[in-house]
Structure 1
Amino acid sequence: MATEPQNSPFIKNLASSDKKTRDQALSSLRTYLSNRASIPTLDLLKLWKGLFYCLWMQDKPLHQQRLARDLASLVDILHADVVLPFLDCFWKTMAREWVNIEALRMDKYLFLIRQELNASWRYLSRNRWGDKEKVEKYMRILEETPLNAVDVKIPNGLRYHVLDIYVDELEKVGGDGWDLETLEVLLEPVRKLQEESKTKAVRKAAKEVLEDARLKKWRGEEVEKKDEDAEMAEDGADEEWGGIED
């Protein structure tokens, strides 16, 4: 097996106009990734550029969605030491290529981002989010690229989409049973964006995420509000006019 990804045919074949060739290249890539305990950052960036254009060349929505899921599933076959660098290079690739995505192709990349975010949450949620170091490292990855508060090179469109799906994908992975300490760590990149972004619309979008009703429910805040509403309803019932007394 080639030691350098750029020396392997599957890299350029990922962007082939022929679907069969792309599928074969993706299969070769799976074998390559599953057998590497470490991969240099430059090689990961080259791999993600190939994968970006692999999706670029794929037409028909159902095939696009299947491919996006397949790309997200690569996280599951990676050596533990490769996962976070792999995800880091994914976000860097999306930030770099975002301005080149045509309107007619945007939907499939939005779907890919959703799948990759979900895959990252699933990976980190193993053992009930027990590897705190990895969770914190991934939060720094999000802070440095898709949710970077100050870097003008990061497209706001990418920021908005990640914010839009952030809680959705957390809900799919974590359900309602959240450890509050873990939840607050996962929200830190959004909180920092809300506090430090120089763009009012970005700060507003981040604030809306932090005020999501599901987060309140997971923290128990919604339950308390319901209790208050129930007490008010009971008080109101006690004071309700009972008609003219004899």
Structure 2
Amino acid sequence: METSTRSSNLFVKQLAANGMDRSRSHPPRYPLCFLSTRLEQGERNFRPYPPILTSFVKPLIDKRTRDKALDSLRTFLASRHELDELELLKLWKGLFYCVWMSDKVRTQRRLAIELAELVDVLQGDVVLPFLDAFWKTMAREWPGIDVLRMDKFLFLVRQYLAASFRYLAKNDWSNHEAIKAYMDTLAATPLNPTDAKIPNGLRYHVLDIYVDELDKVDADRDSNIPLDSLLRPLKDLEDTSPNKVARGKVKEALGDERLNDWRNKDDSGDEEHGHGEEDSSDEWGGLSD
């Protein structure tokens, strides 16, 4: 009885939050199946699903129109040289619920991969704001993800971390300004060491997969990867986080043997440079006068 009353109150709150007249018969501006599931659970923190599904996003929910909708979204994003934060947050709110509503593992994974590939079509000035909006959306919505849907969002986060590293690795990691800006984004949101609003589940997952995705983007160890810069958010978290579990995960990540491949490469490069200087000083310069 208590659950029923609480659910009823939640429904009224959702109607009010969406600015809807309860005397009208038009449907709520969020998926009914999503609403009914959350109301049945009687969740106290359920946030309204706002009417932000654009013409690009809404068809993504329907598998019959998903491919065409993705093509339209790619074309739209590729043509934009600027998108403000509010636009991007609205877009990501819609994309989040597209993933939420997707069913079957194969469909979920395909959608996550294709959404991560959107990074590849973005104009340069839009990439970092787009990624920032992604992380902010994940941090905001993460506490509401139930156990049955968690796997697909874990996979989505992995795909986006990989996509962001691929973007930074372009031109042999030469865009130092972008690298610094993105590390600031990670430090501010998913790897924020002190903000209690960042869900630990998201924080732990990023720490668990961080080296995995770095390893994939430079599997041959033949690039000039700025390892210290890329590990800065982890080191900052280890130094300042009050969370013992998070610090332990950082320690595990920083102790990963795969990082030694890059470190040894740097050391060998320094040694070769040093030997070169030594050899040049020992060269015979001819007879002195």
TM range (shorter): 0.7 to 0.9
CA distance in 2, matches of 1:67, 1:95: 20
Q: Does the 8 Å CA contact 1:178/1:218 hold for their aligned counterparts?
A: no
Cα-to-partner distance string for 1:140-198 (whole Å, 9 max, x where unaligned): 00000000001000001101100010000001001223546x10100000000111101
Higher RCO structure (Cα 8 Å, ≥6 apart): 1
Question: 2: CA distance between counterparts of 1:117 and 1:219?
Answer: 22
Q: Specify the alignment match of 1:138 in structure 2.
A: 182
Q: What is the Cα-based RMSD across aligned positions, in Å?
A: 2.0
* Counterpart in the other structure of 1:238: none
Which residue of the partner structure matches residue 253 of structure 2?
Answer: 209
* Counterpart position of 1:232: none
**Aligned residue type for 2:235:** R
Q: CA deviation at 1:24?
A: 3.5
Is 2:83 the counterpart of 1:9? no
Q: Is the CA contact 2:142–2:199 (under 8 Å) kept in the aligned structure 1?
A: yes
1:35 is the counterpart of 2:79: yes
CA contact (8 A) 1:143 1:149 kept: yes
Structure number with greater Rg is: 2
Give the secondary-structure state (helix, strand or coil) at the position aligned to 1:38: coil
Counterpart check, 1:108 vs 2:108: no
Matched with 1:89 is 133
- Tell me how far apart the structure 2 counterparts of residues 188 and 7 of structure 1 sit (CA, whole Å): 36
Match of 1:123 among 153, 160, 167: 167
CA–CA distance in structure 2, aligned partners of residues 7 and 214 of structure 1: 42
Q: Report how far residue 216 of structure 1 moved.
A: 1.9
> Aligned partners of 1:207, 1:118: CA distance in 2, in Å?
21
* 1:160 matches 2:207: no
Corresponding residue for 2:222? 177
Matched AA of 1:71: L
Q: Which has the higher helix share?
A: 1
| Alignment partners' CA distance in 2, 1:178 and 1:24 | 37
Which residue of structure 2 aligns with residue 46 of structure 1? 90
The one of 176, 190, 193 equivalent to 2:234 is: 190
| Structure 2 unaligned blocks of 5 or more | 1-51, 269-289
Query: Shift in Å at residue 217 of structure 1?
Result: 2.7
Distance in 2 between residues matched to 1:210 and 1:61, nearest whole Å: 32
Q: Residue 12 of structure 1 contacts residue 50 of structure 1 at CA under 8 Å; is this kept in 2?
A: yes
> What is the alpha-carbon distance in structure 1 between the residues aligned to residue 69 and residue 88 of structure 2?
15
Normalising to structure 2: TM-score of the pair? 0.71
Distance apart, 1:7 and its partner CA: 8.7
Look up the equivalent residue of 1:10 and give its one-letter code. F
| Paired letter, 1:115 | Q
CA distance in 1, matches of 2:253, 2:194: 19
Q: Which one-letter code corresponds to 2:258 in the other structure? A: R
- Matches of 1:11 and 1:70, distance apart in 2: 13
TM-score of the superposition, structure 1-length normalised?
0.83
Residues in 2 aligned to 1:145 and 1:127: alpha-carbon distance in whole angstroms = 26
Contact 1:41/1:89 (<8 A) preserved = yes
Structure 1 residue identity aligned to 2:102: Q
The Cα shift of 1:22 comes to 3.9
- Displacement of 1:65: 0.7
